[in-house]
Amino acid sequence: MTTQENSDDRIALLQGTLDLLILKTLVLGPCHGQGVARMIQRQSEDVFLVDHGSLYVALQRLEDRKWIRAKWGVSENNRKARFYSLTPKGREQLVEKTGEWRRLARAMGLILEPGGGFKGEEA
């Protein structure tokens, strides 16, 4: 029932969240689609199971918006792959979206854990 879990996670991935995660991943350097998916999955400690179809559509969307650019290259294990990298515009977006997300998370935290605050979860 992985698919079921996936779709649950996708619901958790709010509109725009995937975009932010992709941008964040690409800050570390150019990467192909599969690498982006792996990285997101790993860094979220497997909480986020990325739907690959959505990922590629999202990559295409970001490319159309000129936030990222793509180039065919060769992967570390010598496979042909399409590498994505951030554009300056994409960097600006990342800063902006990260700020937005922080504000949203803080506000959510304030409401869900009155008095606790965002950091309370770590206790």
Partner 1 sequence: MFRRKRSAEDFAEEIKAHLEIEADDLRGEGLSGNEAYTKARRAFGNVGAARERFYLQGRLVWLDKLLRDLRFGLRSLAQSPGFTATAILTLALGIGANTAVFSVMNAVLLKSLPVSDPDRLVYLRTSNPPRGTGTVDTEETFSYPVYDALRREGKGLTPVMAYVPLSGSKVAVRVGAEPEEAEGDMVSGTFFSGLGVNLPLGRGFSEEDETNHSPLAVISYNYWTRRFTRDPDVLGKTMYVNAVPMTIVGVAGEGFEGVESGGSTDFWIPLQNRRELNAWGNPPEDGKLYMTDPTWWCLRMIGRLAPEVSRAQALAQLQPLFQTAAFIGLGGKPMEGEKPPLLGLADAKAFSGSYNTDYGRPLRMLMTMVGLVLLIALANVAMLLMARNAARQREFSVRQALGAGRGELLRQLLVESLILVTAGGALAWGFAETATRLLGRWAEIESSLAPDRTVLLFTLGVLLIAALLFGLAPLRVALAGRAELALKTSAATSNTDAGKSRMARMIVALQMTMCVVLLVGAGLLLRTMRNLQTTPLGMDVDGLVVFRVKPNIPSLAEGRAFYVNLTNKLRALPGVESVTVMEERIGSWWSNNSDLRVDGRLPNVANSASRTVRSNVVGPNFFHTLGVPVLSGRDFADSDNAASPLVGIINEQFAERFLPNVNPLGHTFGPDNVPVNVTIVGVVKDHKYRSIDEEPIPMAWYEYAEIPLVGPMDVEMRVHGDPLAILPSARKVVQQIDPNLPLIRPMTQRAQFDMTIAHQMMFARLAGFFGFLAVVLVATGLYGTLAYRVSLRTAEIGVRMAVGARRGQVVWMILKDSLMLTVAGVLMGVPLAMLVGRALTSSLYGVKPLDAFTYFTSVVGVAVVALAASAIPAGRAASVDPMRALRTE
Residues in contact with partner 1 by the rule CB under 8 A:
3, 6, 32-35, 37-38, 51-54, 56-57, 60-61, 64, 75, 77, 79-82
Q: 9 vs 109, which CB is nearer to partner 1? A: 9
Residue 22: name the closest of 93, 74, 121 by CA. 93
State the minimum distance, in angstroms, from the CB of residue 27 to partner 1.
Answer: 21
Sign of the alpha-carbon torsion through 93, 99, 105, 111:
negative
Residue 112 CB, shortest distance to partner 1, in Å, is 31
Residue for token digits 């854990």? 113
Residue 97 tokens read as: 């979206």
Task: Give 108's Cβ-side CA count (13 Å radius).
Answer: 7
Instruction: CB nearer to partner 1: give 71 or 103.
Output: 71
Q: Which is nearer to partner 1, 56 or 118 (CB)?
A: 56
Q: In the complex, what is the shortest distance from the CB of residue 60 to partner 1, in angstroms, rounded to a whole number?
A: 6
Provide the 3-class DSSP secondary structure of residue 46. Answer: coil
Phi first, then psi: give them for residue 113, nearest 5 degrees: -125, 75
Q: How far is the CB of 63 from partner 1 (least distance, A)?
A: 8
> How does DSSP classify residue 87?
-
Nearer to partner 1 (CB atom), residue 64 or residue 122: 64
